[in-house]
Amino acid sequence: MRTDTGQVFKLEDYRPNDYLIPQTNLTFRLSPDATRVTAVLTVERRDGASVSAPLVLDGDGLTLKRIEIDGKKVKPADLLATPDQLTILKPPAARRFQLLIETEVAPAGNEALMGLYRSSHVYCTQCEAEGFRRITYFLDRPDILSVYTVRIEALRDEAPLLLSNGNPVDKGDLGDGWHYAMWHDPFPKPSYLFALVAGNLGQLADSFVTLSGRTVELGIYVEPGKEKLAGYAMDALKRSMKWDEEAFGREYDLDVFNIVAVSDFNMGAMENKGLNIFNDKYVLADRETATDADFANIEAIIAHEYFHNWTGNRITCRDWFQLCLKEGLTVFRDHEFSADQRSRAVKRIAEVRTLRAHQFPEDQGPLAHPVRPRRYREINNFYTATVYEKGSEVVRMIRTILGADVFRAGMDLYFERHDGDAATIEDFIKVFEDASGRDLSQFALWYHQAGTPNLTISSTHNPAAQEFTLEIEQSVPPTPSESRKRLMHIPLAFGLIGAGGKPVEYSGVEGASVEDGVIHVRKRRHVVRFSGVTERPAVSLNRGFSAPVTLSVEQKADDQFFLARHDSDAFSRWQAFNTLLTDALIAAFREILGGKQPAFAARLTELAGSIAGDEMLEPAYRALALALPGEADIARDIGRNIDPDAIYAAREALALAIGTANRDAFSGLYGGLADKAAFSPDAASAGRRALRNTLLDCLALQPGGAALAAGHFQSATNMTDRAAALAVLAHRHHGSPEAIKALAAFETIYGSDPLVMDKWFQIQASVPGPQTVDTVRALTSHPAFSMGNPNRVRSLIGTFSSANQTGFHRADGEGYWFFAQTVLEVEKRNPQVAARLATALRSWRSLEPLRQAKAREALLSIAGAENLSADLRDIVERTLA
């Protein structure tokens, strides 16, 4: 592990390196404890660089075995070699020379899962962001593009399959049980996109004919025997390839495209050129082992990594400050893909829920940073919801502002102008300015300024003057190291809605530029006057979630009820009902804190019933509407002095009230939704299961609820229904004979399937209440659990700390102590996973004072531990600052 130097990297310090590496030839002789890596690099001095400039290569824990320049040994006096850096003090005077470097690495002991490591005996690599320097000394930065040729040598028995980037060019036998394969990737790429896989894997093969008629061989490699479980991923891959041709005109460029699933992986998946490496959780699926959410994630992540081939690989990032250039844009592309493959409205609601659950708290707490940050200590900690999800929202706003056609013209220009480049956000914005002729400089603040903007909006109607007025005021709250903010350009989509849900016409508008149903908010305050408005409209705001902002709207409850029934924008209709639920929950929270029993308006519980039963609406939409705001969502909206127990009580009370008011209707609906046809993971079938399972959750609090859920569990014919019933039993009927029996049955059936056992861990880690910390602690000794596997750690520890408000925030601080100890234990093996876990306490300042003090102590105990990694120190120190 690299030592923490405390160094801060700054965007303004960027300058190109004095050297380039146009060609990289790598030879790997694989063995678990001593793999030899021979790199032969063609090094070229950049035009204008001084002949005496030393060549400084990055390393991370490397052992140098041999070094030659142009075939001659380099004298020790001409070198400075440490595990973390290799300096060639006096490179040859010639502009180009050949540098040979031999290093030795130990994949078997690599538990950080960066560089070359082994996962269930399969050799694999992970190089983004700075893992390549754990393999060989290199200019390990994304603006160094090189053409790679790779030779892999291995024992045939140990590794019959040998894969790398690009196209296969040669293979053969070496005697003594060894064999080799060679791969060549004609597209220059940065080192973070390098990949190698070697091992014994099963293959699912298929092919795809591109737009121009070329045949691409597709392979998905999995643990032998699991090939059938890759069928859905393969289908998603082919649909992604087709979609990128149709939606963006992007064709695949190599003869092969391979995907490998591994069981130990720090993130979701990685877009290495021609050789994507995946967390197996996002490849393997069938109805017996995967939920509908798993299927949807697989589809989205397969698409995401494939789309990176153009947005990330063909056009890459100049430096890591530009991470959102590839990530925000590629998330936008995968969102659009899923919207086209599934239901656009449902997809949009789900995206916004994710953004609010993950990005808003980040933007509103100590870890806030701009979509394009200006400084970092550890780049691994910037693979965040802000860079990814808010980054995607920013691209979506560009499309909203320019319109779909001009946006597409801008994208075409981006590909044309920057293919083969390591580009910047400025380059990206410029193509849209050039394609549209508009000035996007104020808009660009979305990349540069952290924090969630707020719009305060009020409206008045003057019937005599036939004028409807919207007063809109923007503010951007201060964030760490950015106390003063500039005014932003916020595209606010809106609708004026009259009786019966019809749009209200207006004859003119002044006070802001309004185009195609979008108000362009650019100033601190706008008074937008619509003339010729005869009836008082209800106003639908931020339609389709056109901007990632919070709204403070003075809106009559009657209007909110009206919009929840009549808004023609599905997202905003969902939002209106969700706002009503949130308002009711916050009021109930206050009543509970004041020692009162909360009560809910009959028209609210009735509306829940009518949405649930509205056959005009998609079942998936009805399920999303009925799912109450989560405890963390409610906490975020309350903002400060949070008592998670009171929030939990409020939410339970509302669920009970809705179920009680609609018991018979919900039972009838529930009965009618049972799967009749054969299982299919498609969106419509998944939507029916989602609605049925949401109804089950509601009915579970009613008399006979435990028996109903137990029956649901026993009769389930797929994992979606089985896991949903188990969660209902474990959460709503904790400790009941039905819950105990179901948990045991699940363990018996799936005990040897790690990915399914993750669900079992998750369900138990999220059981509300003070006892769960003990359950979780005990489960760390379960034979299916391992502190070394990121999926296991995230399922048990991650779920407990980020998805169990009452358990984790136990009033006596026990949850925090367990958490602090566990984070430090994980860190010894895997700093990256530990640092991510540690972000669970980022909102600690919004807790009530007693919990706040205990959370702070736990954070301080992490900060005070010896030899902290750069990853964890960075998170903990920023969280406490």
CA-to-CA distance for 620 and 729, rounded, in angstroms? 22
- Residue 13's contacts (CB-CB under 8 Å, 6 or more residues apart) are none
Q: Binding segment for ligand PHE among 104-112, 266-274, 483-491, 568-576 (CB under 6 A)?
A: 266-274
Residue 334 binds ligand PHE, judged by CB under 6 A: no
Nearer to ligand PHE, 309 or 474 (CB): 309
d(CA 304, CA 49): 38
User: Which partner, ligand PHE, Zn ion, none, binds residue 267 by CB below 5 to 8 Å per kind?
Assistant: ligand PHE
* Measured distance CA(457)–CA(749) in Å, rounded: 55
- Residue span binding ligand PHE (CB under 6 A) among the ranges 303-311, 662-670, 705-713, 786-794: 303-311
Catalytic (active site) residue 305 = yes
List the beta strands (DSSP E) in 121-191: 122-126, 146-155, 161-164, 167-175, 178-189
Q: Give the nearest distance from C-beta 187 to ligand PHE in angstroms.
A: 17
* Residue 163 or 776 with smaller CB distance to ligand PHE: 163
CB within 8 A of 160, min separation 6: which ones?
200
Record the tokens describing residue 648, joined without a space: 């939990």
Pairing status of strand 525-531 against strand 467-475: antiparallel
Give residues 368-387 in contact with ligand PHE (rule: CB under 6 A). Answer: 383
Helix orientation angle between 344-354 and 323-341, rounded to the nearest 10 degrees: 140
CB of 394 to ligand PHE, least distance (A): 16
Q: Which is closer to Zn ion, CB of 60 or CB of 389? A: 389
Look up residue 526 and give its amino acid: H
The answer to whether the Cα torsion of 280, 282, 286, 292 is positive or negative is positive
Nearer to Zn ion, 241 or 858 (CB): 241
Site for Zn ion in 279-338 (CB under 5 A): 327, 330
DSSP string computed for 89-102: SS--SSSEEEEEEE
Q: Which of 20, 181, 267, 686: binder of ligand PHE (CB under 6 A)?
A: 267
Q: Which residues contact 348 (CB under 8 A, 6 or more apart)?
A: 339, 544, 545, 570, 571
Query: Can you tell me the distance from the alpha carbon of 525 to that of 512, in angstroms, rounded to the nearest whole number?
Result: 10
Closer to Zn ion by CB, 328 or 609: give it.
328
Among 304, 333, 399, 712, binds ligand PHE (CB under 6 A): 304
Task: Choose from Zn ion, ligand PHE, none: what does 758 bind? Cβ within 5-8 Å by kind.
Answer: none
Q: Which helix (H) or strand (E) holds 470?
A: strand 467-475
From the list 24, 25, 126, 546, which residue makes contact with ligand PHE (rule: CB under 6 A)?
Answer: 126
For 875, the token pair is 């998170």
Contact by Cβ (8 Å): 135, 243 = no
To which H or E segment does residue 687 belong?
Answer: helix 683-699
Residue 271 is a binding residue for ligand PHE (CB under 6 A): yes
**Residue number with CB closer to Zn ion (327 or 697):** 327
Among ligand PHE, Zn ion, none, partner that 126 touches (CB below 5 to 8 angstroms by kind): ligand PHE
* Minimum CB–partner distance for residue 126 and ligand PHE (Å): 6
Q: Does 128 bind ligand PHE (CB under 6 A)?
A: yes
The one segment of 261-269, 413-421, 614-622, 761-769 that binds ligand PHE by CB under 6 A: 261-269
Q: Residue 708 Cβ, how far from ligand PHE at the closest point, in Å?
A: 40
Return the number of the residue (303 or 539) whose C-beta is nearest ligand PHE. Answer: 303
Task: Considering only CA atoms, give the Rg of the chain.
Answer: 28
CB 452 within 8 A of CB 550: yes
Residue among 128, 299, 305, 827 flagged as catalytic: 305
Residue 359 per-residue DSSP state: I
Give the range of 245-253, 284-292, 302-310, 793-801 binding ligand PHE by CB under 6 A.
302-310
DSSP H/E element including 688: helix 683-699
Residue that has been written with the tokens 């750690």 in this structure = 793
Helices (H) and strands (E) in the chain, counts: 30, 33
Contact by Cβ (8 Å): 352, 393: no
In degrees to the nearest 10, what's the CA dihedral of 740, 742, 744, 748? 180
Count of residues near Zn ion by CB under 5 A: 2
Q: Which stretch binds ligand PHE (CB under 6 A): 148-156, 218-226, 300-308, 634-642?
A: 300-308
For residue 315, the SS3 value is strand
Nearest residue relative to ligand PHE (C-beta) = 267
Range 793-832, binding Zn ion (CB under 5 A)? none
Q: Tell whether the torsion through CA atoms of 868, 874, 875 and 881 is positive or negative.
A: positive
Q: In angstroms, rounded to a whole number, what is the distance separating the alpha carbons of residues 445 and 11?
A: 16
Closer residue to ligand PHE (CB): 269 or 875: 269
Q: Which tokens hold the place of 140?
A: 């390990």
180 contacts 152 by C-beta, under 8 angstroms: yes
Tell the smallest beta-carbon distance from residue 880 to Zn ion (Å): 30
Q: In terms of CB distance, is 299 or 327 closer to Zn ion?
A: 327
Site for ligand PHE in 84-123 (CB under 6 A): none
Report in angstroms how near the CB of residue 435 gets to Zn ion at its nearest.
24
765 binds, among ligand PHE, Zn ion, none (CB under 5 to 8 A by kind): none
Q: Closest approach of Cβ 308 to Zn ion, in Å?
A: 6
For ligand PHE, the binding residue among 18, 140, 244, 327 (CB under 6 A) is 327
Shortest distance (Å) from residue 425 CB to ligand PHE: 17
Distance, CA of 149 to CA of 40 (rounded, Å)? 10
Pair 244, 310: CB distance under 8 Å: yes
* Helix (H) or strand (E) run with residue 294 in it: helix 292-307
CA distance 25 to 37: 10
Q: Which of residues 269 and 872 has its CB atom nearest to ligand PHE in the complex?
A: 269
What is the residue type of 194? F
Smallest distance from the beta carbon of 137 to ligand PHE, in angstroms?
21
As measured in angstroms, the least distance from the Cβ of 110 to Zn ion is 23
* Partner interacting with residue 383 (select from ligand PHE, Zn ion, none; CB below 5-8 Å by kind): ligand PHE
- Which partner in Zn ion, ligand PHE, none is near 270 (CB below 5 to 8 A by kind)? ligand PHE
Measured from the CB atom, is 278 or 530 closer to Zn ion? 278
Closer to ligand PHE by CB, 122 or 435: give it: 122
SS3 content of the chain, % helix, strand, coil (to 5): 45, 25, 30
**Cβ 805 to ligand PHE, closest distance in Å?**
28
Looking up tokens 């009033």 gives: 811
Using CB under 6 A, count the residues that bind ligand PHE: 12
The verdict on 297 binding ligand PHE (CB under 6 A) reads no
Give yes or no for a contact between 54 and 88, defined as CB atoms under 8 angstroms apart. Answer: yes
**Rounded least distance, CB 325 to Zn ion, Å:** 11
Among 39, 150, 270, 706, binds ligand PHE (CB under 6 A): 270
DSSP for 664-681, written as a single string: HHHHHHHHHTS--SPP--
Which tokens is 694 given?
A: 């949401």
Among the residue ranges 72-80, 304-312, 344-352, 697-705, the one whose residues contact ligand PHE (CB under 6 A) = 304-312
Residue 758 interacts with ligand PHE (CB under 6 A): yes or no: no
Return the active site residues. Answer: 305
Residues near ligand PHE, by CB under 6 A: 126, 128, 266-267, 269-271, 304-305, 308, 327, 383
Interface ranges with Zn ion (CB under 5 A): 327, 330
